């Protein structure tokens, strides 16, 4: 956790790593982003919000005893759940096989979550590949929705649908996307053009591409051996384009003033009060 006093206005920047399709490497990239932000000096908390089936803890060779769902339900606090991976990186997992729904969130749970803002600069949420209301509001309440797609048509289409549903909630979260698991930069750029055209035509606005991650046997091997964190800390371990994505986040977005309310206030309004309101954040995301 970060040390030192914080002001009442301090809150963490929240990055929701999302996708409308499973199997696109979302959790892998969530770990990469969180690890590299921590290496760059940002006190970072990675939260597995894929309740019951998330594998962030497994991929980092940990077995959580308390999950994020228990914090939201008011049954546990930050110190009960956090797993520390160094001075600037912490992870909160989800318990295997647990069932969690929005109705279980309560005021005490959100009060517990507000502790995060006084301890961390950045929160990275690994969100599930769904369009259920809880997930949509987790993403819409974030500062940045980082959508992970691949060159496959189902991944492109499903991620478009998820982003469309987020837009329909009234959310004003900044958005960007990363193309993962491509065989070459050419394939990545073709996918960027294809997804960009789809979004522009049917959503009426553009979403910047923040990077391309080529298929690399080192990533697959590190995932299988639960040594992914070690690879993320190696410069260039995820490729040149992935490094550009991290530089873009650090140079153009991490230092921007945060607009609107914290994600926990957004959840309090949309989930507890059952109102359809947007996240008031007028920052513009800049592509690479």
Q: pTM here?
A: 0.91
- pLDDT level of residue 258 (50, 70, 90 thresholds): confident
Q: Tell me how far apart the alpha carbons of residues 159 and 202 are, in angstroms, rounded to a whole number.
A: 13
pLDDT at residue 5 tops 90: no
Maximum Cα–Cα distance for the chain, whole Å?
49
- pLDDT level of residue 171 (50, 70, 90 thresholds): low
Mean pLDDT in the chain? Answer: 89
Section 197-223 average pLDDT: 92
pLDDT at residue 236, rounded to an integer: 87
Q: Would you list the domain boundaries of the chain?
A: 13-272
Tokens encoding 277: 């309101």
pLDDT at residue 35, rounded to an integer: 97
| Per-residue pLDDT tens over the stretch 109-137 | 999 999 999 899 999 999 999 999 999 99
pLDDT at residue 22, rounded to an integer: 94
pLDDT at residue 243 tops 60: yes
- For the domain made up of 13-272, give the CATH fold: Rossmann fold (3.40.50)
pLDDT at residue 278 tops 60: no
- pLDDT level of residue 261 (50, 70, 90 thresholds): confident
- pLDDT level of residue 8 (50, 70, 90 thresholds): very low
pLDDT at residue 7 tops 70: no
Section 137-145 average pLDDT: 93
């Amino acid at each position: 956790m970060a040390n030192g006093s914080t002001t009442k206005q301090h809150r963490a920047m929240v990055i929701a790593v999302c996708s409308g399709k499973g199997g696109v490497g979302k959790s892998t990239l969530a770990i990469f982003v969180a690890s590299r932000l921590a290496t760059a000096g940002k006190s970072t908390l990675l939260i597995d919000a894929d309740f019951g089936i998330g594998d962030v803890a497994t991929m980092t060779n940990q077995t959580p005893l308390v999950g994020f769902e228990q914090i939201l339900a008011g049954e546990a606090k930050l110190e009960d759940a956090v797993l520390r991976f160094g001075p600037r990186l912490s992870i909160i997992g989800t318990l295997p096989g647990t069932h969690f729904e929005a109705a279980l969130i309560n005021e005490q749970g959100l009060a517990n979550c507000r502790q995060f803002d006084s301890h961390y600069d950045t929160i990275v949420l690994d969100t599930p590949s769904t369009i259920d209301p809880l997930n949509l509001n987790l993403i819409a309440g974030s500062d940045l929705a980082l959508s992970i797609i691949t060159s496959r048509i189902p991944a492109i289409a499903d991620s478009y649908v998820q982003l469309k549903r987020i837009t329909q909630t009234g959310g004003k979260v900044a958005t960007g996307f990363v193309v993962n698991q491509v065989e070459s930069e050419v394939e990545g750029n073709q996918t960027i053009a294809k997804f960009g055209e789809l979004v522009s035509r049917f959503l009426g606005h553009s979403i910047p591409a923040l990077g391309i991650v080529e298929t690399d046997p080192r990533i697959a091997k590190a995932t299988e051996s639960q040594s992914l964190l070690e690879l993320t800390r190696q410069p260039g371990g995820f490729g040149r384009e992935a490094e550009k994505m991290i530089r873009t986040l650090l140079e153009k977005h991490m230092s921007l003033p945060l607009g609107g309310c914290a994600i926990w206030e957004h959840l309090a309004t949309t989930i507890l009060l059952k109102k359809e309101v947007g996240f008031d954040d007028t920052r513009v995301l800049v592509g690479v």
